[in-house]
């Protein structure tokens, strides 16, 4: 009975005959966004649960423990990060939904997996961004439009920002995909009248966005190139004669059976379909564990080097890290309901000299 009680003290962990001290991973989730917080927590729990069933989450007889905590501001992210690394001795952290929150955790110098959609040069080599890379999103959108032979589009960039990563990424992606073909890409401000047939909203959007007032009746296809959370809030723009699309890290792709398998696992475990943050957390933790096994539980530079060169078979396909940014398949989805409908899958070029992907 004592043995059983000791095992239950660890979260969803397989027991071994000789357990060392637990290996702790910390998750700081957004207190002001309970849906994202729940998805991130569920993604990590799935790793522990399903790999734990195979006694695969115990490394060198050390059980894996996930510590969950929430934060509501960049300052709180920092204080909670200190708490997790100093008091709970967390080996690695997951957390940060934007650049400000991520920068507050970056100085803790443990492997940090951020859910932020972009990476800044100020971040250290120990921080990895799990969110979709803006350049990958732009490449996916252009490839999808080309598959539909859409040769004319209007990109909408934010008037108040001069360095939005999505607005910066889209024109080069358009040129690279179409080459010398006859096309027309018009660039306008989000404060202009938006009356083109195909609109590419190349920025983050929020509830205060003026876009709904600016979009004209001629707009038949609205594509959000930016963080998924904002795009979802604008799904109401769809009408009988207007389609709304955005990019996401997860959709059930008929050609990729692992997406349906993951959705089934998640449904059985939590009674609901997975959100993209669950997939990001799941892949991030499995990739970390893979590198920890490869390096025999090494830390510091050796572990970081392995993460930078490893390729992992993720839920949706091959995943790799390059310069701190995680590159993964990008899905274009159609706002027809919840969940949105799969429409297109784009896969990044594999890294050179990284060897075959590991599971």
Determine, yes or no, domain membership for 356: no
Determine, yes or no, domain membership for 337: no
The domain that holds 271 is classified in CATH as 3.40.50.2300
Report the half-sphere exposure of 184 (CA within 13 A, side-chain side).
8
Determine, yes or no, domain membership for 101: yes
Rounded Cα distance, 182 and 180, in Å:
6
Rounded Cα distance, 336 and 359, in Å:
33
Same domain as 286, residue 171: no
pLDDT for the residue 215: 80
Mean pLDDT of 174-179: 93
Structure tokens at 227: 């963080």
Rounded Cα distance, 280 and 129, in Å:
10
CA distances from 99 to 58, 116, 216, 219, 280 (A): 32, 6, 33, 32, 17
Residue 65 and residue 45 in contact, taking contact as beta carbons nearer than 8 Å:
no
pLDDT for the residue 300: 75
Same domain as 235, residue 156: yes
Determine, yes or no, domain membership for 343: no
| Of 45-49, 143-147, 165-169, 216-220, the least confident | 216-220
Cα Dmax for the chain? 74
Same domain as 122, residue 22: yes
Residue 26 and residue 92 in contact, taking contact as beta carbons nearer than 8 Å:
yes
Count the domains in the chain.
2
Same domain as 119, residue 159: no
pLDDT in tens, 296-337: 776 678 888 888 888 889 999 999 988 888 999 999 999 887
Same domain as 81, residue 43: yes
Rounded Cα distance, 218 and 223, in Å:
14
Closest CA to 204 of 297, 97, 288, 311: 97
Determine, yes or no, domain membership for 341: no
Q: Choose one of 248, 272, 289: the last residue of a domain.
A: 248
pLDDT for the residue 60: 63
Same domain as 122, residue 166: no
Rounded Cα distance, 139 and 24, in Å:
37
Same domain as 15, residue 110: yes
Determine, yes or no, domain membership for 358: no
Same domain as 144, residue 199: yes
> Which residues touch 249 (CB under 8 Å, ≥6 apart)?
131, 132, 228, 276, 279, 280, 316, 328, 329, 330, 331
Same domain as 98, residue 46: yes
Closest CA to 140 of 357, 354, 349: 349
Look up the domain containing 47 and give its range.
Answer: 2-132+255-328
Q: What percent of the chain has pLDDT over 90?
A: 51
CA distances from 331 to 51, 201, 306, 316, 340 (A): 26, 16, 27, 9, 11
Same domain as 266, residue 128: yes
| Of 8-17, 33-42, 212-221, the least confident | 8-17
Rounded Cα distance, 250 and 345, in Å:
10
Same domain as 181, residue 94: no
Distance, first Cα to last Cα, the chain:
35
Same domain as 50, residue 26: yes
Q: Choose one of 211, 230, 248: the last residue of a domain.
A: 248
The domain that holds 150 is classified in CATH as 3.40.50
> Which residues touch 303 (CB under 8 Å, ≥6 apart)?
111, 291, 292, 295
Q: Choose one of 226, 248, 270: the last residue of a domain.
A: 248
Q: For residue 45, is pLDDT > 60?
A: yes
Rounded Cα distance, 297 and 124, in Å:
21
pLDDT in tens, 128-163: 999 999 999 999 999 999 999 999 999 998 876 656
Cis peptide before 283 (omega within 30 of 0): no
* Band (118; pLDDT cuts 50, 70, 90): confident
Mean pLDDT of the chain: 84
Determine, yes or no, domain membership for 128: yes
Cα dihedral 57, 62, 64, 68 in deg (nearest 10): -170
3-class DSSP state for residue 348? coil
pLDDT for the residue 160: 67
> Which residues touch 7 (CB under 8 Å, ≥6 apart)?
13, 15
117 vs 314: which has the higher pLDDT: 314
Determine, yes or no, domain membership for 224: yes
Residue 13 and residue 7 in contact, taking contact as beta carbons nearer than 8 Å:
yes
């Amino acid at each position: 009975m004592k043995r059983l009680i000791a095992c239950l003290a660890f979260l969803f962990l397989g027991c071994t005959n000789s357990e060392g001290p637990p290996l702790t991973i910390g998750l700081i989730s957004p207190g002001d966004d309970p849906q994202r917080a729940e998805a991130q927590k569920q993604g990590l729990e799935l790793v522990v649960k399903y790999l734990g069933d195979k006694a695969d989450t115990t490394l060198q007889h050390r059980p894996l423990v996930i510590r969950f905590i929430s934060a509501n501001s960049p300052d709180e992210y920092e204080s909670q990060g200190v708490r997790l690394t100093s008091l709970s001795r967390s080996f690695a952290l997951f957390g940060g939904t934007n650049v400000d929150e991520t920068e507050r955790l970056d100085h803790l110098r443990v492997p940090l997996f951020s859910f932020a959609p972009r990476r800044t040069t100020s971040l250290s080599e120990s921080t990895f961004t799990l969110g979709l890379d803006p350049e990958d999103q732009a490449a996916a959108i252009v490839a999808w439009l080309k598959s539909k032979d859409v040769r004319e589009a209007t990109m909408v960039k934010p008037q108040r920002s001069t360095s939005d990563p999505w607005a910066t990424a889209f024109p080069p992606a358009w040129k690279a995909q179409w080459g010398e073909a006859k096309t027309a890409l018009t660039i306008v401000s989000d404060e202009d009248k938006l009356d083109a047939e195909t609109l590419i909203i190349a920025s983050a959007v929020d509830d205060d966005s003026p876009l709904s007032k600016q979009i004209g009746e001629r707009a038949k296809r609205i594509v959000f190139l930016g963080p998924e959370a904002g795009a979802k809030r604008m799904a109401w723009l769809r009408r009988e004669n207007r389609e709304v699309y955005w990019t996401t890290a997860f959709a059930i792709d008929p050609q990729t059976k692992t997406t349906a398998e993951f959705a089934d696992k998640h449904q059985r475990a939590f009674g609901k379909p997975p959100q993209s943050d669950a997939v990001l957390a799941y892949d991030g933790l499995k990739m970390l564990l893979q590198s920890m096994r490869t390096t025999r539980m090494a830390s510091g530079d050796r572990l970081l080097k392995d993460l930078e060169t490893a390729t992992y078979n993720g839920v949706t396909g091959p995943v790799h890290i390059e310069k701190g940014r995680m590159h993964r398949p990008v899905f274009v989805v159609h706002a027809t309901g919840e969940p949105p409908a799969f429409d297109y899958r784009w896969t990044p070029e594999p890294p050179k000299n990284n060897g075959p992907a590991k599971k």
